Amino acid sequence: MINILLSLLMIWIGRTSADLPSTSWIRNYDQSGKLYDNPMFEITARGRIHCTVRCSMESCCQTMTYNPNTNGCRGYCRNTTIEEELSSDAGRELYLRGDTSADHMCGYDKNTSLCYSLKTDDQDKHGAAAQCERDNGHLFRVESFERLLAVEGVLRDYFNNSLAYVWVDGEDYNSTNNYVMANGNSVPLTDAFWSSGEPNGLEYEQCVGIHYGYKLNDWPCVIRHKYLCEY
Ligand SMILES: [Ca+2]
Ligand SMILES: [Ca+2]
């Protein structure tokens, strides 16, 4: 029995590391209101995860602050220690690089500037889209072949080189094999993007996932699968 539990634990640990491929962040609850001053950058981010990605792009950036009310995002180098009061900016949160927190991380692909995360709870397509939006993201958009290739490694790791079951963005609202994403663009219908013989589901399979050969398949939108978010 203990052996079985240990095996399950090892599988869980293995999957967690595959699921969470890059830099991670955690909110520092213990700080006393002091910040590392002189931000190396200050931007209006699309969300908390976008802010961590911006900081992850700079080797010097060790501390990040983000205000979810204003989307204000600042990155700091660790060695500058001039004080700033968090209380002067209501709602601003402080994050330090290095610890793990599943809520605030993404895999970052330098070639495509992609920030993506494989979510391993099972959701139907619309539930998956809603979960991505919770963090100011959206379902992963397969708008180029490079993007499909960029996530293949993470999926191969997680699914152990076997069949993937992962929602991405795209829905065929009019049963015309036109899979429209939330930004209005269409998923390319070129054979190279799709698993052999797909899309094949006519009006019964209206939503898009990554499946056989780490390429696209149309599935019924109500099936529950894991999903890829993009930020
Ligand atoms: Ca279809
Ligand atoms: Ca299909």
CA of 78 to the centre of ligand 2 (A): 50
Between CA 228 and CA 120 the distance in angstroms is 9
Q: What share of the chain is helix, strand, coil (3-state, %, to 5)?
A: 30, 25, 45
CA of 210 to the centre of ligand 2 (A): 10
Calculate the CA 30 to chain-centre distance.
Answer: 27
CA of 208 to the centre of ligand 1 (A): 8
Best CA proximity match to 119, nearest among 231, 216, 198:
231
Calculate the CA 84 to chain-centre distance.
Answer: 31
Between CA 71 and CA 187 the distance in angstroms is 30
Pick the ligand that lies closest to the CA of residue 200. 2
- pLDDT score of 91: 74
On whether the CB atoms of residues 152 and 116 are closer than 8 A, the answer is no
Tens-place pLDDT, residues 26-80 = 555 434 555 555 778 889 988 877 787 777 777 677 778 888 889 999 888 754 4
Task: Note if the pTM is more than 0.75.
Answer: no
On whether the CB atoms of residues 131 and 173 are closer than 8 A, the answer is no
Between CA 47 and CA 144 the distance in angstroms is 24
- pLDDT score of 4: 52
Tens-place pLDDT, residues 25-34 = 555 543 455 5
